Amino acid sequence: MINVKITNRTAAEDYIAVEKETGATTLPGKHIFAIFSVGIISVLLALPFGSIIPESASPFAALSTGREEQNRVYEQEYLKNNEVIAEANVEISSTAGSEENYDDDINTEALIAQASQAEIKKEAAEAKTAVAEPEQRVKFVATDIEKNSNEKILADKKTQSEKYISNILTPNRIPGTIAQAGAEKEFNGKWYEQTIRKGDSLSKIFSYLNLNNEDLKKITAVARDSDLNLSVGQKIQFLIAEDNSVQEIAIPLSGNKQVRFSRDIEKNTYTVARERRFAQFSDLKSRGMDSATLMPSFIEAEKERNKKKLEQEALLSQKQKEELEKARLKREQLAAQKKQDALAAAAEKEKHKSIYKGKSRPRLIIGSIGEKETFDKAATRYGLTHSEIVTIKNQYVGRINFNKLSAGDSFRILFNGIGQGSSMTAISMNTKMFGQINLYRHQLNHIFYEENGYNPSTGAFRRFPIMGQIKVSSPFNLKRFHPIRQVIRPHYGVDFKVNIGTPIYAPADGVVTYAKYMRGGGYSIIINHKGGYSTVYMHLSKFDVQQGDRVHIGQIIAKSGNTGNSTGAHLHYEVHVNGRPVDPLKVDLPSGSPATAQRLKEAFKNNVYILKTELYKNKLAEVK
């Protein structure tokens, strides 16, 4: 309903001027201009540019063309830029290491895994939408079934009501007496009384008094639900025959009423009467009755329960004695075992002390894993430091699971000098489960490769994905200490300090395998290049490529930004070689010349020959 208020105050009212002859509404000029502009733009957007009408005729083509032309200019300048000069003038911030972007410790593989989970959730949501309609139809069917069920229940209740009214209107029915003539018979037996306690039900009372459960079923069959609602403190009367059968039972109702169930011997059931309280007694004196706990059935059941209780107590007492004895023996065994373990630990500690005992570590370590010993313990025993053990494990990621090494597995570690200040140059792991795998360090980029694992690319690869002055705010650091979390948290990339919107270039030809927004890295891109190289770019503000695109060296792929977990505008840049992160400022990059690539490969091969010879020269393992 709309309430209309009529008033004579018209000074502040708004009016629309209407011409009497036409009824047309006068619109302001700015409204007409807006409507006309929207119409023109709509028509332009709807025109089939690129199919019927050439794209060059589109008024928007100039904007796109201008942007592409500007990108081409940027690409040419990037390729002409002399990186030799840029490398020589790299500026590393004096605060690097103290004011780093500590929210930037992101695992690239984790980002890809998160993206996969997002795709799975998306597919699940689409599948759920697809089955929504069939589910709705099932719901309608269920509703119809429920409706039919309700109609049946109402019909049954109506029938019961009619029967009940019929009984009330029976000419022989007298209020306050038994409902059926059979119930007025005299029963032989004795009356007992049971007080209702908290939590009692008629079933529990029958079980407690050891009454016949078949009688309970017959009573329940003819009773209403309201007849069996018991209240704490009320008393139920039972007329019990000599054979322990229930002849009658009177249950109190609200007010001064009760419901009485009387046995009908001929029909083998019970009749029901709803009457005044104690209507079964002829006078007040006859109300006096014994407690239900004096029923012969209860006394017999109580004796049996007490007997079982005594047996359980005796059994429990014996069990407790046995448990105490077991506990005493266990304490003695634990004490003996503890003493034995202490002796074994002392012997093991003595066994695993450094085999060099204060002497300088040799150039070559030849070791093996002992019984009940891990690789870490064995390596420590042979004089390897914690950082050297971590380095070895990192080199074998994806090749060897060090948690599954066993006694007898052996290793050889070659260093470039004597003592713990020297560096590893070759590693050999000989295991029963993973076989023998030898790794040799490249003399220039210091990366470990298998004997035939170094394959330098013949494609050109530039050092930096940006142009101009190179400013590093956070360098590559595998041992970076996190001042907040108080743990070693490696920084697998380099942070370049750049303004938001700075063009980011592809340093080499490749394929975009990842271009999405993810928590942590913000807008991120991953490109796979030839020769096992991959590059990662994080915290971008805009994509210029999509996942699956092929890119060429010098192509603008994105603009820098400050997205994700970032404490300031910068570009986080990573270089991976064969799946392992390397320092982008020091890694050996392809020169673009096949001859140079072949020369680098030959140089590595010659170096491997020398290292392999020394790795198996047992004389180098002698302690001096």
H helix count then E strand count, the chain: 11, 24
pTM: 0.40
- Dist. CA 235–CA 211, nearest whole Å: 17
- What is the architecture, at CATH level 2, of domain 361-455+597-624? Roll (3.10)
The CA distance from 546 to 557, in Å, is: 9
Nearest Cα to Cα of residue 459 among 596, 598, 592? 592
Q: Where are the beta strands (DSSP E) in 501-616?
A: 503-505, 510-518, 522-528, 533-543, 550-551, 556-560, 571-577, 580-582
Q: 187-298 with 471-596: one CATH topology?
A: no
- CATH number for 471-596: choose from 2.70.70.10, 3.40.640.10, 3.40.50.10860, 2.40.128.130: 2.70.70.10
Backbone dihedral region for residue 178 (phi beyond 0: left; psi -120 to 50: alpha; all else: beta): beta
Here the tokens at position 458 are 């013949």
Burial 436-464 (b: 16+ CB within 10 A, else e): eebbbbbeebebbbeeeebebbbbbbbbb
Beta strands per DSSP E along 20-106? 91-92
Q: Which pLDDT score, from 0 to 100, does residue 16 have?
A: 46
For the chain, list residues with pLDDT below 70: 1-26, 44, 47-66, 94-186, 283-288, 347-354, 356-358, 457-459, 482-484, 591-594
Residue 613, class by beta-carbon neighbours within 10 Å (0-12 exposed, 13-18 middle, 19+ buried)? exposed
Residue in the block written with tokens 């980002």: 111
Residue with tokens 């991976």: 576
CA angle (395, 397, 403) in 5-degree steps: 110
Q: For residue 615, give both structure tokens.
A: 């790795």
Strands (E), 125-256: 190-195, 235-240, 246-252
Task: Report pLDDT for 278.
Answer: 86
SS3 content of the chain, % helix, strand, coil (to 5): 40, 20, 40
Q: What's the pLDDT at 618?
A: 92
pLDDT recorded at residue 260:
93
Q: Which long-range contacts (CB under 8 A, 24 or more apart) does 153-161 make?
A: none
SS (H, E, C) 597-617: HHHHHHHHHHHHHHHHHHHCC
Tokens of 324: 């105490």
pLDDT for the residue numbered 272: 93
Name 372's Cβ contacts closer than 8 Å, sequence gap at least 6. 348, 407
d(CA 249, CA 247): 7
Write down the architecture of domain 187-298 according to CATH. Roll (3.10)
Could you tell me if 424 and 441 are in contact, meaning their C-beta atoms sit under 8 angstroms apart? yes
Q: Give the residue from 231, 205, 219 showing the smallest Cα distance to 260.
A: 219
Alpha carbon 174 to its chain's center: 72
Strands 235-240, 503-505: parallel, antiparallel or unpaired by DSSP? unpaired
Predicted pLDDT of residue 341: 85
Domain ranges for the chain: 187-298, 299-351, 361-455+597-624, 471-596
Neighbour count for residue 511 (Cβ, 10 Å)? 14
